[in-house]
Amino acid sequence: MMFKHTPLSRFLYSLCRQARGLIILSLFAISVNGQQKEEAGSSSGNHNVSWPDPVTNNRSPLMLTGDWLPANPHDIDFNNLPRVPAKHAVVSDVRGVNGVNQHNYLVYYNKKFWIMWSDGPGVEDRVGQRVKYATSKDGLTWSAPRFLTPEPPGSGKESPYYGTRTDKGFRYIARGFWIRNGQLLALASLDEAAGFFGKSLQLRAFSLDKGEAQWKDIGVVFDNTINNFAPKKLPTGEWMMSSRQYDYKITGAHFLIGGNKNLTEWESFPVWGSNDELSAEEPYWWVLPDNNLMALFRDNNKSGYLYRAFSIDNGRNWSKPVRTNFPDARSKFSGLRLRDGRYVLVSNPNPEKRDPLAISVSDDGLVFNKMFYLVGGRHIDYPHIIEHNGYLLIAFAGNAKQSVEVLKVKLSDLDKLKMKP
């Protein structure tokens, strides 16, 4: 069958050729753009890498920049970073009894500061470990420590397994304060103390009585989970917190969303790839200025850097974590978005050891351009930072996890510091 070439048919044929050309050009542009992102994501440099973006460039490794930054971030002279003026307080010190103090968390509630931590025998997280707390009006003078949790089931000092690592005994681990509907809750995980973590792992909540004299166990928040920090609000108004299951080395990191209608109603969303090239530990997240989310992960595979992932749908789906150029000692870190819109991150950036503790500053929550020295000269870790009335309070574990200490930093003093090229 023959077709006659009419003016209309020639016009349609020309239109189809133009459309095909546009499609080819579009596919080429997508390919080039994707290649550029992959190149940025695999780059080990820190000066010539494209800026990250949750939507258009979630593979960028750039997280630290500045004319003061060496080509290899591990070469930063950490001990000679600009020093932050701070007031210092010791809340608890168990060196005299060879105990452990770590997992520090702060909150301001009912006109005073509250701090909690894990307190146990010998090395961290052994049978019999409990949670303690103290309070302060000014963040520097603290009350005597008191127990927040009871003894773990059958794991008190009379137990033959007390102070050991075994699945025949239990431990509590401090997990943070949560102000929910105006009520102060304290979170603690409970599991067998053999390793990380026991099969009966659960996250429990405790509430204060009206006289603020005693804490009461109000039950399980979520089974088979240990969070890293207390829940925070998403832009949607929902609560979200990170989660690791007892077999997290296989299942990877998750985020739990819920907690609004009921304390126990949560939905779990995995971070795919968080147990591939990295071994994700102690996830942390915050809301970016565009209301997308950024999560950071400590890497137990000893890369010496933090990993980062993004979510553009309020935590339901996450980009595959990418190794950034932000150095890390394989240690817990804590971040915060300040009231003025900037972001701060407290961490152990020296990949060789947990010394010093530093605070880094970012204008957009994506890339940091300043890093300052907080405290050091000894083993220091497990920080938690909050902001209150123009001050930052930073809790940390000192002396190889045997003391609970607090720094109080005036924000205006932090603003005066400058990086030296």
What phi and psi, each to the nearest 5 degrees, are found at residue 10?
Answer: -65, -35
Q: Is the link from the previous residue into 356 a cis peptide, with omega within 30 of 0?
A: yes
Whole-number pLDDT of residue 123: 85
Closest C-alpha among 297, 286, 226, 289 to residue 256:
226
Whole-number pLDDT of residue 276: 86
E strand or H helix at 31 = helix 7-42
CATH 2.120.10.10 assigned to domain 73-415? The reply is yes
Residue 142 is classified by DSSP as B
Closest C-alpha among 255, 289, 286, 248 to residue 271:
255
Look up residue 106 and give its two tokens: 């702060």
Structural domain boundaries of the chain? 73-415
Query: What Rg, from alpha-carbon coordinates, does the chain have?
Result: 25
Query: How many residues does this entry show for the chain?
Result: 421
Rounded Cα distance between 350 and 329, Å, is 5
Whole-number pLDDT of residue 7: 45
Whole-number pLDDT of residue 20: 43
Successive 10-residue mean pLDDT values, the chain, 421 residues: 41 43 38 38 53 98 98 98 98 97 97 98 94 98 98 97 97 98 97 96 95 93 98 98 96 97 97 91 97 97 97 98 98 98 98 98 98 98 98 97 98 97 90
Burial 160-186 (b: 16+ CB within 10 A, else e): ebbbbbbeebbbbbbbbbbeeeeebbb
The reported pTM is: 0.88
Closest C-alpha among 139, 117, 140, 141 to residue 129:
117
Q: Count Cα atoms within 13 angstroms, Cβ side, for 74.
A: 12
Whole-number pLDDT of residue 211: 83
Closest C-alpha among 91, 144, 185 to residue 398:
91
Rounded Cα distance between 212 and 404, Å, is 22
Look up residue 340 and give its two tokens: 């003025």
How far apart are the two ends of the chain, measured CA to CA in Å? 78
Look up residue 152 and give its two tokens: 């773990």
What are the start-end ranges of the E strands in 278-399?
A: 280-287, 293-299, 305-311, 322-327, 334-337, 343-347, 357-362, 368-375, 381-388, 391-398
Residues 6+ apart with CB under 8 A from 122: 98, 99, 100, 163
Cβ neighbours of 416 (radius 10 Å): 10
| Strand partners for 208 | 215
E strand or H helix at 103 = strand 99-109
